[in-house]
Amino acid sequence: MSTDNSSPRLDCHIANDTERAAAFGNVHECWGDERSVEDYVAWRMQSIQHARASWYVGCVDGRVATSLGAYPIVLRAGGQSWPGYGIGAVHTAPEFRRRGYAATLMAWGQQQQLDAGAQFGLLYSDIKPEYYGEMGYRLCESHYAWAVPRTGERPDGAGQLVRFDPAESAEALAGMYVTVQSPRSIWIERDEVYWDWVRGRYPEHEWYWWVAEEHDAPAGYVQLKPTATETRVFDWGVLPGMDERAFWESVIEWAAAQGIARIGGWLPSSEAISQCLEVTPRIKELTMLSPLTPSAPWDDAYRRDAAWFTECDHI
C-alpha cells in the first residue's frame, strides 16, 4: 500500500444518490459483465442486493475517487452473536490509484461501523490478501469444488432432490440452516429480514430439499444457480448425523439426469466433498475476517470454519 502525502485531501462521507450512481459507474470496469455503463448503473441503483449496503465514498474536488459498500451482518462466534459488516465493491478510479485512497476510505468506514457497534469485519478479496492483511484482516480457507456429472449406477444410500419454494418453506429452511451451522465455531446468522433479502436477491435460483434414502423428512437442502454452461451451488446444508457423502452423490446424480455439464462452486474441503468433487483453492473472492475490538473473540478454528461460508452470503 503506497500513499502520496502530496495528494489532494480525500473527503470521506456517506454517498448521496448522485455520488452512489457515480461510484457504480466507476466500478463498471471491474464488475459490469456485458451491460452498458448506463444499464449497469440503473441496475445497481435498483438492486435489492446493493440497497442493503451503506455506500461510502471518498471524493477529490467533488469527484468520486474511491468507494465501497458496507453490508450489515451478524456473526455467531464463541457462543454469542456479534454485529459486524461485510465490505463489498472496494474500488478506486484509475486516475486516483496508488495514493492510498481506498485504505483511507476503509479506515473511515470502519470507524463509522465501530461507532455503530460493529465487532467484526468480513470481506472477500479479489486482490492479494496481504493488502487487507495490513488492515487487520485474516485470511481464511477458501476453496472451489467441481464435479462433472456422469450417468451410471445409483450410488448406495443416495436420496432424492425435491424442489421447493423458499418463501413457502421459509420457517423450515431457516430452522434447518441454524441446525446445520450451529456445530461450527463461526457462522453467519440469518434473521427473517436477511432471508427476505436472500430470496429477493436470487429470484431465479432453484431450491431443493434432500430427502435421504429411507427417511421421510428432509435431511438437507441445496440452492442452485443454473446457467447455460454449469450449475453453481450457492447454499447447502446437511443435518448433523446424516451422511454428507450420500447428499453429494444425490446432488451429482440429479445433475447427471438433468444433463448438467458441471456442478459445484464455493465448497469446503470436507472428506465427503473431496471424495465426490475436485477441490482446488480459490484464487479470487478469498474469505477474510477481522475482529475489530479487543472484546471480539478470535480462534484459529475460525480460519477453517469460514470455508463453510457459502456464495449465498457473498457481497
The per-residue pLDDT for 155 is: 65
Residues of the chain with CATH 3.40.630.30: 11-139+283-298, 144-281
- pLDDT the model gives residue 236: 98
Among the CATH numbers 3.40.630.30, 2.60.420.10, 3.40.50.300, 3.90.1010.10, which is that of 144-281? 3.40.630.30
Grid cell listed for 283: 484464487
Please give the pLDDT value at position 195.
97
Q: How many CA atoms lie within 13 A of 112 on its CB side?
A: 20
The stretches in the chain having pLDDT less than 70 are: 1-7, 153-157
Grid cell locating 46: 435498483
Nearest C-alpha neighbor of 75 from the set 287, 244, 225? 287
What pLDDT, on a 0 to 100 scale, did the predictor assign at position 5?
55
Non-local CB neighbours of 128 within 8 Å, separated by 6+ positions: none
Output the pTM of the full model: 0.92
Task: Read off the pLDDT of residues 263-311 as tens digits, 9 standing for 90 and up.
Answer: 999 999 999 999 999 999 999 999 999 999 999 999 999 999 999 999 9
Q: Provide the residue type at 234 as one letter.
A: F
- The strand pair at 286-291 and 278-281 is best described as unpaired
Identify the pLDDT of residue 153: 61
pLDDT at 84 (0 to 100): 98
Query: Which CATH number does the domain 11-139+283-298 belong to among 3.30.70.1560, 1.10.8.60, 3.40.50.2300, 3.40.630.30?
Result: 3.40.630.30
Q: What is the dihedral of CA 82, 87, 88, 90, to 10 degrees?
A: 180
pLDDT at 154: 65
